[in-house]
A = this chain, B = another copy of it.
Amino acid sequence: MSLRYLVVAIAAQASAQLTGRGFPDCVNGPLSNNTVCDTSAEPLARATALIAAFTLQEKLNNTGSTSPGVPRLGLPAYTWWQEALHGVASSPGVNFSDSGDYSYATSFPQPILMGAAFDDELIRDVATVVSTEARAFNNDQRAGLDFWTPNINPFKDPRWGRGQETPGEDPFHLSSYVHALIDGLQGGYDPKYKRIMATCKHFTGYDMESWNGNLRYQWDAHINSQDLVEYYMPSFQSCARDSNVAAFMCSYNSLNGRPTCADPYLLQTVLREHWGWTEEQQWVTSDCDAVQNIYLPRGYNDTREAAVAQALIAGTDVDCGTYFQEFLPGAYAQGLFDISVLDQALVRQYSGLVRVGYFDGPSVPYRNLTFSDVNTQASQALALKAAEEGIALLKNDGALPMTIGANMTIGLVGDWANATTQMQGNYAGIAPYLHGPYYAANQTGAKVAIANVPGGQGDPTTDNWRKAWTVANQSDQLFYIGGIDNTVELEGNDRVTIAWTGAQLDMISRLAELKPGLVVVQMGAGSLDSSAILNNPNISALLWAGYPGQDGGTAIFNIITGKTAPAGRLPTTMYPANYIAQVPMTDMSLRPSTNNPGRTYQWYDKAVLPFGTGLHYTNFTASVATPTSRYGSANGSTTYSIESLTTGCNETYMDRCPFRTFAVDVTNTGSVCSDYVTLGYLTGSFGPTPYPLKRLVAYTRLHDVQAGSSQTANLVLDLASLSRVADNGDRVLYPGDYALMIDNAPLAMVNFTLTGEAYTLDHWPQPPEPVYQATDYFVGGFGSTYGDEIMVNVTSTML
């Protein structure tokens, strides 16, 4: 997606207003006798009939994201580009009103913070609000019906500028999260009428913007099948195979030499064939101008016509950009593709619109939604709840929760102290309000002193720091609210350091000297090495609050004062500052090697704060009840034969077959009512070496566990949970010793054993040989033969 989408949005809105929006007239319009208007026909037949009525030129015209429709047929223009990452968002197809109705939409926290809630029901609820509001905007002709969300690439490298858009680093977590999200966005997994069309992006291997001369538009990710299936693919498999998402987006990066938007292995063999994502109402869009990039800067094809033909044939159905519209005509004249391929792309697009009721008139569900359904009190409460559930308590010497009384002066220092739009992160809409920390502090009734310093990221100027010392001296209780924001982690720019800036550390340490008991609130998505804060005895507490959305300040102060107890967990590893010097961003491997200390909590054990970290205001214990299993070899036995596990399985995709449900009894032994996230990790000696340290296989969030009470968390494990991935990408059940651990500590553990022969649950389609583009070259950077190549734009020789 383009950094400049706001500018583009304005242009596209103007264009859309010129060309008209709204729905085709299936009653009195020219299409009324076309099968597309026959609500009793199958979507595929309806779209096929529509496209059959197009002339060749009309077909070619409707291949880009700004689609003119067919005026002759009364088919309106349509913009294939709405955004809704955490609420209906500013984008080419979304038109907020300047004031009054439709001038705002609920602005939820960024996915990174919602991921930290580890609460799939919350995600489903949030997504349902988003799709409800999207439909209301659509009904007012202020948005289309496809939304280019979610970004579901795993947040592997702490430098990634777009990690904030994702729920975190763990592939199981992402898969589970996105399954709930699509349910909410689309209104079920196969409804007659989808609420909206969701778009899983960016397929695949995309998690770098700009690192050391490698730019996303031209970089080639080298990923072996094992890493691909184990780490990069699960969230997309969840989208396509398990959640029936309407659309996919191919990515800017190429994969093993092939631009993803021109790669039939990815778009046909894996996505459509292996995952059975074959309904014609499902379509693939390119990331914006990823089709152009096939030609330049990649130079993958010698002509623009060859590039667009290759993308279309590979399975890219919509070009975000104009390359299809401009060069498919020439490509067709040159005989580079058959008309049936173009028809197929158009049928996919328009059958997608059939499935959202585009041709079915006002009786379609959701057509009655209006602005009164936008940002309701319930939605406002949900936005606050989402932020509160995600906030993670990382250090607490007992100072939290604290009473803030009207007789106190509290001091807020830091760049986020008076945050407004900062709280939304990127891909945001217009919020109804933005209650930041300063606003929320004032609601406590205390006097509030504020100093919005040190200012800037990495660019210290002490000139205006004195106000911070004044605030510290005035305050009974001091808060530092800072970290990072979209000035350093953003689309197009990866971070260059994962340390707190020297300026912030300097200020924090002085504030802690001046006012011991300092509470630090760390904002932003990416990893920060907080060792100094954790080790400083004058700092009482550290909270992580990500990008908390429209009511973020309220959420932070509700946690601080104990109105809400914290139960969020870090959805990513917080690495030591020198981690980024140990592995290039371009190294896509997960496992440790000579030049890679290992990536994510599964392979790296020197975290400053590990994945899953999150303290409470109370204490929990957990125990795992005696199992009941239809596959156990004997009563409560801890040994299972692979044969019995697999022969009883009738699923098409065998990894979906159940293994066991573990009932975890969680007891709140402290004195504060609190949510509790039950994390289930699997570890053990089975399958290919090296073994991961552990991996998440199940989670569930218990709500409001009363002090002194217990609740049961049911952790459902299937055969996928037990499986490992072989070198060739096959998903295999291996004999060996397994342990399920509850929580990071762990609080409880169950051991069991699988016996018998290894069994392949999923045979991964083998990729073609990597082809490296003739015009690319890789430079073994700086004396290393390892993965830190710089891919240089060599297209300057191509004009």
Contact = CB atoms under 8 A, between A and B. Distances in A.
Nearest to A5: B461
A687 interface: no
A691 interface: no
A797 B581 contact: no
A213 B496 contact: yes
B796 A462 contact: no
A37 to B, nearest CB: 31
Interface stretch (A128-136, A309-317, A380-388, A526-534): A526-534
B577 A792 contact: yes
Copies in the complex: 2
- Looking at A292, A783, A785, the one whose CB has the most chain B CB atoms below 10 A away is A783
A509 B799 contact: yes
A493 to B, nearest CB: 9
B797 A532 contact: yes
Interface string A6-46: 01100110000000000000000000000000000000000
A714 interface: no
A212 B782 CA distance: 13
B8 A217 contact: no
A460 B293 contact: yes
A472 B211 CA distance: 36
Contact of A782 (B296, B492, B786): B786
A52 interface: no
A415 to B, nearest CB: 12
A323 B462 contact: yes
A578 interface: yes
Contacts of A512: 799
B581 A505 contact: no
A501 interface: yes
Interface string A494-506: 0011011111011
Given A296-B503, A466-B322, A784-B784, A461 B796 contact: no
A443 interface: no
Interface stretch (A113-121, A137-145, A426-434, A451-459): A451-459
Nearest to A585: B212
Nearest to A787: B782
A595 B780 CA distance: 10
A535 B798 CA distance: 9
Q: Indicate the member of A2, A292, A461, A462 with the most B CB atoms within 10 Å.
A: A461
Contacts of A323: 462
Contacts of A784: 782-784
A686 B212 CA distance: 39
A297 B502 contact: yes
Contacts of A502: 217-218, 292-293, 296-298, 793, 795
A695 B506 CA distance: 45
A697 interface: no
A796 B297 contact: no
A292 B460 contact: yes
Interface in A744-799: 777, 779, 781-790, 792-799
A580 interface: yes
A282 interface: no
Given A296-B503, A463-B322, A506-B295, A213 B580 contact: yes
Contacts of A8: 461, 463-464
Given A322-B466, A788-B782, A799-B532, A581 B213 contact: yes
Given A595-B783, A777-B578, A779-B582, A459 B492 contact: yes
A797 B535 contact: yes
Interface in A204-239: 210-213, 215, 217-218
A275 interface: no
Given A293-B502, A531-B796, A797-B532, A779 B461 contact: no
Contact of A12 (B459, B463, B492, B797): B463
Nearest to A92: B463
A747 B288 CA distance: 51
A743 to B, nearest CB: 27
Nearest to A455: B4
A289 interface: yes
A208 to B, nearest CB: 12
A779 B577 CA distance: 12
A464 B321 CA distance: 9
Contacts of A66: 463
Contacts of A295: 506
Interface string A319-332: 00111001000000
A634 interface: no
Contact of A532 (B289, B781, B787, B798): B798
A747 to B, nearest CB: 30
A54 interface: no
A657 interface: no
A787 B797 CA distance: 30
A798 B92 CA distance: 47
A465 interface: yes
A558 B289 CA distance: 37
A499 B536 CA distance: 46
A508 interface: yes
Interface in A538-597: 577-578, 580-584, 594-595
A693 interface: no
A782 B779 contact: no
A53 interface: no
A3 interface: yes
A275 B500 CA distance: 40
B496 A536 contact: no
Contacts of A529: 796
The winner among A3, A295, A784, A789 for most chain B CB atoms within 10 A is A784
Nearest to A2: B461
A645 to B, nearest CB: 43
B799 A536 contact: yes
A322 B465 contact: yes
Contacts of A213: 496-497, 580-581
A496 B287 CA distance: 22
Contacts of A321: 461-463
A499 B577 CA distance: 31
A459 B796 contact: no
A288 B529 CA distance: 25
B505 A799 contact: yes
Contact of A790 (B288, B292, B463, B580): B580
Contacts of A506: 292, 295-296
A518 to B, nearest CB: 11
Given A292-B502, A581-B781, A581-B790, 9 more contacts: A8-B463, A11-B463, A11-B464, A211-B496, A292-B503, A292-B506, A295-B506, A321-B462, A578-B792
9 closest pairs, A vs B, by CB? A297-B502, A499-B793, A581-B779, A532-B799, A581-B790, A578-B792, A296-B502, A509-B799, A296-B506
